[in-house]
Amino acid sequence: MRTRCLLALTTSVLLAAAASVTHAKGFSYTYGQIGYQNYDSDSIEYQGASVEVSYGALDFMHVRLGYSRYWVDSVEGTSDDNIDIDAFRLGAGGNFSVHDKVDLIGRGTWIYHGKSGDSNNADIGYEVEAGARWQAMKKLELAPSIYYYDNDDFEADVGAGLGVVYNIHKRYYASVTGRYFDEDRVKDIFAGIPYDFLPVAGSLDQTRRMAGFLFPAPKEGLSLCRGLSGAC
């Protein structure tokens, strides 16, 4: 019983301390954003609106869900320009703090493109990303990344990108991300307005709940270290 008490207390303290340190100086992964995207390649050109939400489920993990509506401007080999694309994205990633102002990121995303109009079909693909978030200045963040992308319609390709995020006011930000893929000479530009739901406040409550799940309090009559104020 004494060992379990000490383990529970030590783990709770360490988790809480890690959460407070990480988020006091780190990045938030719980946000929502809307934006505009322009996609230009040798085979297809389109533009449209996007919405995305991200949730920092743990201090080292986040999940993302996104939807975009695109209007196709041109498609290689056809005069059909009456095509709309509904794109759905679902992904998860890990974020690891290596410095007060730097996080390393790795994430994977499942992507579904449903095409409507004269060409009714769909393709499914995925994207793997490795990158970083760097707090270059007090209100300015830079996010370089490399990507691996593959789907039903295109050859697998590797690309690179750079995101720039600027804090406009409190929880509101402006973001611009540019990406380039060599295989189809893809130039992908996204401009958005993120809103931070948990601005650097951290997930201390989430960590406490996690500690409570891993080490539930004993039933009545078996108090955990007697309220942490008495002997175990």
Residue 204 and residue 93 share a domain: no
Cβ atoms 33, 192 nearer than 8 A: yes
* Domain of 220, in residue numbers: 1-26+200-232
Confidence class of residue 74 from pLDDT cuts 50, 70 and 90? confident
Count of domains observed in the chain: 2
Q: Which long-range contacts (CB under 8 A, 24 or more apart) does 212-217 make?
A: 214/11, 215/4, 215/7, 215/8, 215/11, 215/12
CATH number at 105 reads: 2.40.128.100
Residue 88 and residue 10 share a domain: no
As a whole number, mean pLDDT of residues 102-118 equals 89
Confidence class of residue 223 from pLDDT cuts 50, 70 and 90? very low
Higher pLDDT residue, 176 or 198? 176
As a whole number, mean pLDDT of residues 211-222 equals 51
Burial of 64: CB neighbours in 10 Å, binned 0-12, 13-18, 19+: middle
As a whole number, mean pLDDT of residues 154-174 equals 92
Residue 161 and residue 50 share a domain: yes
Which pTM value belongs to this model?
A: 0.71
Residue 100 and residue 38 share a domain: yes
As a whole number, mean pLDDT of residues 206-220 equals 50
Residue 194 has pLDDT above 50, yes or no: yes
3-class SS at 118? coil
CA distances for 148 relative to 12, 82, 158, 180, angstroms? 38, 29, 5, 11
Residue 63 and residue 118 share a domain: yes
Residue 82 and residue 48 share a domain: yes
Q: What is the mean pLDDT of the chain?
A: 79
Residue 217 and residue 104 share a domain: no
Residue 96 has pLDDT above 60, yes or no: yes
Residue 11 and residue 81 share a domain: no
Residue 6 has pLDDT above 80, yes or no: no
Query: Residue 151: what pLDDT?
Result: 84
CA distances for 199 relative to 20, 25, 63, angstroms? 13, 11, 17
CA distances for 196 relative to 56, 61, 89, 127, 169, angstroms? 11, 17, 20, 24, 11
Residue 40 and residue 78 share a domain: yes
